[in-house]
Structure 1
Amino acid sequence: MNRFSSSRVLCASVAALALSVAPARAATVTSPPYLDEITGARALDFVKARDAHTLDVLTHDPRYAGFYKDALTIAQSHDRIAAPEQLNGQIYNFWQDADHVRGIWRRTGVASYRTGKPDWTTVLDLDALSASEHANWVWKGADCLEPDETRCLISLSDGGEDAVTVREFDLATNAFVPGGFALPGAKQSADWLDRDTLLVSRPWRPGDLTDSSYPYIVRLWHRGTPLNVATEVARGTKQDMEASGESFTDGQGHHVALIQTAHTIFSSSYALLENGHTTPLDLPRKSDIQGLLDGQLVVRLNEPWTANGQTFPTGALVAVDPTQPAPKPELIAAAGPRQMIEGAAVTKGHVLVALYDNVRGTVVSYARGSDGWRGRRLALPGDVSVSITSSTIRDDDAFIGVSGFLTPPELWQANARTGGLNRLVAMPPQFDAAGLTVDQYEAASTDGTKIPYFLVHRRDMAENGTNPVQLYAYGGFQISMTPRYSGTLGKLWLDRGGVYALANIRGGGEFGPAWHEAGLNVHRQRVFDDFAAVARDMIARHVTSPAHLAIRGGSNGGLLMGVEFTQHPELWKAVVIEVPLLDMVNFETMSAGSSWTGEYGSVRDAAQRAFLEQISPLQNLKSGVRYPVPFIMTSTKDDRVGPVHARRFAARMDALHLPYFYDEQVEGGHAAGANLREAAQEAALEYTYMWRTLDGAP
């Protein structure tokens, strides 16, 4: 991506479930070394055998065919809102459907888009490009040179990896530029300095990557010169996470180029790049830049900052002139104790802020006046999630996305200057929400902290402990889980009488940076306790019981699922573990794992290693324990977390003679699904697994 009300008292039977024994020191686990060879023959044989078992069982379940059909119909529906991207005075959109499996990049005029039935022109066809180049290109976005926005850098991935190729594209001719900028595939970044110069960060020679597997050397590459003679302008270290260049342009014609050196995933230093030379900027390390307006950087603070005799709170949004030797920041907006600034976008003369109050979203437009910054709240629907879908420095028009659990996505056009709003289009319902309602509750965690969660259910839901519940959470990296519409969830779960719960556990950003920091590294047990507390609260309310409870999470949420699987096997019947981290004793040496030590800690620190050993799912699988039968899902092409975590966990389950389902898709990267068909198949498999497991199928 939500939640609230309160109940602290557990009945005796639920209180018994709350008792847990602190795990002993983790066992040493040795996995078959061939599993580490991502595309090795023996590793792929291991994968194919387990995939075959999963597909044989789940695709022959009578529910699967209908689930797949419904999920694919929803994914490929032409009633989906075509998300706008404002470029060069027109509207662009990337689109996938049954006829465009890999997708097309297309455009239309603003007036045509406003009709709700745009007349689209195809700009780039990835299916045709893939066929002509014998590749499987996955769209990774376009970066177009401001303010003209006629030349773009298009990033394409082979099968969904984070590694990309970058090519220059001309919007005037709808074609790649002959002899234009082209970067071969790698983990890299590129941004425009001007029409004939790029800021490029990539592995210039073998080994030019950080321990986190990202580039750290930034060079200027001039048009018409060989890539290998690009001029170095900045260099981080192998111990940093990454170094990259980025440029900003505003509606008043100011241009700022910056070098960002990410020391960890949460801390960075910035330098101003002028005439090939860098000057450090005095910004807090825990901050991120949202844009440029009237020559001032718009900066979100993730820690308190004292500058020019004034202290700005954590979570605030400030404006800073990067050319001043000593910063004199101005406060744009500050978040209250139960609020969170999710992000900001810049128009020609305003800053649009997505603000959440108790996990319910709204948008505020801020303008700078003679007496400081003043905000105007836009009159959008309440009790929803909001997203600033698109903005432009050409004018003050922007597009706002609105969505809720039972509110199909809507697209609003907003004017940041006047506050005017116009609802352009609303997606038709993809499931029957009549009779459904949303409640918000609180659960008391182990340390007494109130953890909010949402419950989506039928109004006439019986409080008898037998309702099938799917509980979802993420709990990391300051990422917020907010109410959003999902046709697949509605059709495959809610329509069949299922209850959906979304937990706002610590580690996320729902209440700002402090909510996130409460669950960092050795404090992460709070995150796991929060999740279990929500489950117990639902059990105490007689919404469900362990025999009827499924849990699901991916990536960092996959780690959460692995920990809950090993720490509280008695609390759940079905556990879906998607693209997970599961070997926390060795995660730093796997794929991009070293980049996450700021979140999880490091085994190089004795106290942090002891904690990681204590919670690592792989090392805490034990014989003689009655575990649920999980569904483990990953992707061979995932070069971020990587499939090795899931493979090692499966191998350990084998060694302990424990049953499980396993699905490793070849393509799709960390998103696990390179196209809509693969995504629909994965959804059908997971929902089939959850329903058959809660129904008591073997």
Structure 2
Amino acid sequence: MKQLTNLIAFIMLALILPGCGSGKNGDSVNSDPYMWLEEVLDEKALDWARAQNKLSDEALTTLPVYTELRDRFNEVLNDRERMIYPGITGDYSYNLWQDEKNERGLWRRMPKKDYLAGKETWETVLDLDILSAEEGRKWVYGGAVWLGPENRFCLLRLSDGGKDEVVIREFDAVEKKFVERGFSIPESKGSVTWIDRDQILVATNYGPETMTSSGYPAVAKLWKRGKDPASAVTVHQTDTANMGIFVSGGEYNGKQYVFLSENVGFYESTIYFLTPDGLKQLDIPKDAETSGMFREQMFLYLQSDWTLSGSTFKKGTLVSYDLPAFLTGTPEVRTLYEPGERESFAGVMTTRDFIVIATMENVQGRLRIMRPSGEGWITEAVPVPEFGTVGLAGADDRSNEYFFTFSNPVTPTTLYYGDGKEIRAIRKQKDYYDASGIKVVQNEAVSKDGTKIPYFIVHPADMALDGSNPTLVYGYGGFNSPTRPGYSSLTGIGWIEKGGIYVIANIRGGGEFGPEWHHSALREKRQNAYDDLFAVAEDLIRLKITTPERMGFYGWSNGGLLAGVAMTQRPDLWNAVVIGAPLLDMKRYNKLLAGASWMDEYGNPDVPEDWSFISKYSPYQNVKKDVKYPTPLFITSTRDDRVHPGHARKMAAKMIDMGHPLFYHETIEGGHGASSTNAQEAEMRALMYTYLKLMLMD
């Protein structure tokens, strides 16, 4: 460990920068001397970030393993034979292709029949590198909203540098160019959908008092072709204290359906259906999640029990909601899928004659087809491989063709094709790392309150149970989002292939077992998620798989908060912590960018009762000078307009002034993912795995 000791000493000397604790924001700075680092593009703050980058880069990127990993990652990310997913729109398969020559990417397509035949005859629709050069921007493709059934025109979303804010422009996919004097929406967070060829519904920034405290639109207006958007009619408006307004829609069987969601918070919304007579409020639970449509049936994933006309539909259930019946005043709701114990709904897609539902059983993927029959549904199981993740990869509403994927940490992704009659594998990802002799097993740890927490271990078959194994634990545990065991070529190359043990922790707060698993770590119950992680780590030590000196944790976004808590609450468990795109200052998170929208998840720190439980885990407020912490790696992005880079900046600056060694890396572009090109992704991941190898293996 001599190399590590020398590096830490170097960083400790170099990171003590003059003026780190000085500020300029008056009285507010007296309570937080690092608040000046929240000024994202302020030159002083940027100079601080550049200085930290320089120091960490000098310490990590000069190591031979960094260059080795960066080059291998680039080979994988730029591989011309890598998996290409179907991206079905009408009769075409669309794809964004990025490589070393096309950093921003080629938006391209080929006929769906050619894709199914395994051809590689791609036709470029838009070259984002040429567009970026012409306009002096760093455009990142953000998706397209198509006008069906022709699917010639779309509203193209473009982000400068990978931000959540986008510009939206009307694009002609036949002429392969932006429509002259077509619809054009300036840069903003927001959403848009077609009403017809000459009308769109737009939720965007309309000026003062039209954006919420969460940074999302509070107003939706009806735009007409050829008319000044300033004269657009307001369709709906919400209070700026709410989360925001979001619009969506799509074409089904030649008819355009348009919906508007007024979100009070992250998990509470009122859904409206646009009719010729205006908006009609749907009489559905405010916490239900919408999951698509089939033959005028809207799908709802219930987050709480719903009693309607004497019948109770249980939380965690997927139900259909008949829109024509709603319009006549006689709502009809039917159960499509009700989970059993340790089961949950994972997703749904629709074809012409049936729907395809993905579920999880003890965090392992399952698939089924459901066909309408009279007033009910006929269900048939779709055979899928055991012990892994099933992903929905696309379907065609005009035929019965659909696609799904399967993978696990040692099995590269296989893409399957189905049509209701047959299933066949049509593409398979390369084996990008040597997984020979590697096993995947599922264990359970017991959390502080007795709850059983499943976790997956990826390890060599001949793993020694002597505590000597370098082990990396990954977790998320939030926002009803499940963490599933899938194939990652970069994790395989950067960690598993080098002898590391990889662990996926299915802690509470996620969606692995439906709404209750999520609800059990909300707000005042947040500590449950952290206790679950600690239970997994302690179980790994108990089983003599590893020791704290050989164990690290990695988390991103909400998982970055999890990483910060792991470091501050249980520094004795880890020797490395990667804190990616994190929330850390939970006293001010609701005042930074989209933070106010997450108060349903964490609570409101401005309410004393809420701060009483938030304050117990908020990393920024709980880091101490006299505690020995593992040396962390902070990763953030200047362009992250979702989770403010000030969280990572302030935490790092505070720890430096306390005398704690650390590594810090802030990308200038890349948004919430901290990268927008393959080269940036390769560099960032190489830095992360170089750090982990240094801390846990060398």
Q: Does TM-score exceed 0.5, indicating one fold?
A: yes
* Pairing of 1:351-390 with structure 2 (within 5 A): 351-390=355-394
Assess if the C-alpha contact under 8 Å between 2:476 and 2:510 holds in 1: yes
Query: Does the residue aligned with 1:610 lie in a helix, a strand or coil?
Result: helix
Deviation at 1:327, TM superposition (A): 2.1
Percentage of identical aligned residues: 37
**Who is 2:295 aligned against?**
294
Assess if the C-alpha contact under 8 Å between 2:389 and 2:486 holds in 1: yes
Assess if the C-alpha contact under 8 Å between 1:50 and 1:662 holds in 2: yes
1:39-71 CA deviation, whole Å, 9 max, x = no partner?
Answer: 101000110110000000001112111011111
**Who is 1:245 aligned against?**
247
Match of 2:651 among 635, 649, 652: 649
Assess if the C-alpha contact under 8 Å between 2:209 and 2:240 holds in 1: no
Match of 1:338 among 337, 342, 358: 342
* Pairing of 1:111-130 with structure 2 (within 5 A): 111-130=113-132
Assess if the C-alpha contact under 8 Å between 2:470 and 2:697 holds in 1: no
Assess if the C-alpha contact under 8 Å between 1:351 and 1:366 holds in 2: yes
**Who is 1:11 aligned against?**
none
Deviation at 1:638, TM superposition (A): 0.3
**Who is 2:68 aligned against?**
66
**Who is 2:426 aligned against?**
424
Match of 2:682 among 668, 680, 697: 680
Q: Residue type of the partner of 2:608?
A: A
Aligned length: 666
Q: Distance in 2 between matches of 1:205 and 1:423?
A: 51
Instruction: Supply the RMSD in Å over aligned alpha carbons.
Output: 1.3
**Who is 2:603 aligned against?**
601
1:536-566 CA deviation, whole Å, 9 max, x = no partner?
Answer: 0000000000000011000000000000100
1:210-231 CA deviation, whole Å, 9 max, x = no partner?
Answer: 1101002111111111111111
**Who is 1:18 aligned against?**
none
Match of 1:661 among 660, 663, 683: 663
1:572-603 CA deviation, whole Å, 9 max, x = no partner?
Answer: 00000000000001110011100000000002
Deviation at 1:606, TM superposition (A): 2.0
Q: Residue type of the partner of 1:58?
A: L
Assess if the C-alpha contact under 8 Å between 1:667 and 1:674 holds in 2: yes
Query: Does the residue aligned with 1:63 lie in a helix, a strand or coil?
Result: helix
Q: Distance in 2 between matches of 1:276 and 1:314?
A: 33
Assess if the C-alpha contact under 8 Å between 1:248 and 1:292 holds in 2: no
1:161-217 CA deviation, whole Å, 9 max, x = no partner?
Answer: 100000111111111111111111111111111111111001112331111010021
Deviation at 1:604, TM superposition (A): 2.9
* Pairing of 1:486-497 with structure 2 (within 5 A): 486-497=488-499
Q: Residue type of the partner of 2:321?
A: V
1:68-112 CA deviation, whole Å, 9 max, x = no partner?
Answer: 111111111122211111112111111111121111111112222
TM-score, with length taken from structure 2? 0.94
* Pairing of 1:174-573 with structure 2 (within 5 A): 174-251=176-253, 253-275=254-276, 277-323=278-324, 324=326, 325-415=329-419, 417-418=420-421, 420-573=422-575
**Who is 2:27 aligned against?**
none
Q: Residue type of the partner of 1:668?
A: G
Q: Distance in 1 between matches of 2:694 and 2:31?
A: 31
Assess if the C-alpha contact under 8 Å between 1:199 and 1:221 holds in 2: yes
Q: Distance in 1 between matches of 2:396 and 2:471?
A: 42
Matched, 1:610 2:609: no
Assess if the C-alpha contact under 8 Å between 1:165 and 1:182 holds in 2: yes
Assess if the C-alpha contact under 8 Å between 1:250 and 1:348 holds in 2: no
TM-score, with length taken from structure 1? 0.94
Query: Does the residue aligned with 1:102 lie in a helix, a strand or coil?
Result: coil
Query: Does the residue aligned with 1:614 lie in a helix, a strand or coil?
Result: coil
Unaligned 5+ runs, structure 1: 1-27
Q: Distance in 2 between matches of 1:336 and 1:250?
A: 32
Match of 2:46 among 27, 44, 53: 44
Assess if the C-alpha contact under 8 Å between 1:217 and 1:244 holds in 2: no
**Who is 1:78 aligned against?**
80
Query: Does the residue aligned with 2:593 lie in a helix, a strand or coil?
Result: coil
Deviation at 1:298, TM superposition (A): 1.5
Of 53-62 and 269-278, more deviation after overlay is shown by: 269-278
1:312-362 CA deviation, whole Å, 9 max, x = no partner?
Answer: 111111111224224220111111121111111122222211111111112
Deviation at 1:156, TM superposition (A): 0.2
Structure with more relative contact order (C-alpha pairs < 8 Å, separation 6 or more): 1
**Who is 1:639 aligned against?**
641
Query: Does the residue aligned with 2:126 lie in a helix, a strand or coil?
Result: strand
Quick one: structure 1 residues 319 and 442, their matched pair in 2 at CA, closer, same or farther if it must change by over 3 Å? same
Q: Distance in 1 between matches of 2:193 and 2:405?
A: 27
Assess if the C-alpha contact under 8 Å between 1:31 and 1:648 holds in 2: no
Deviation at 1:263, TM superposition (A): 1.2
Query: Does the residue aligned with 1:592 lie in a helix, a strand or coil?
Result: helix
Of 427-436 and 254-263, more deviation after overlay is shown by: 254-263
Q: Distance in 1 between matches of 2:31 and 2:104?
A: 40
Unaligned 5+ runs, structure 2: 1-29
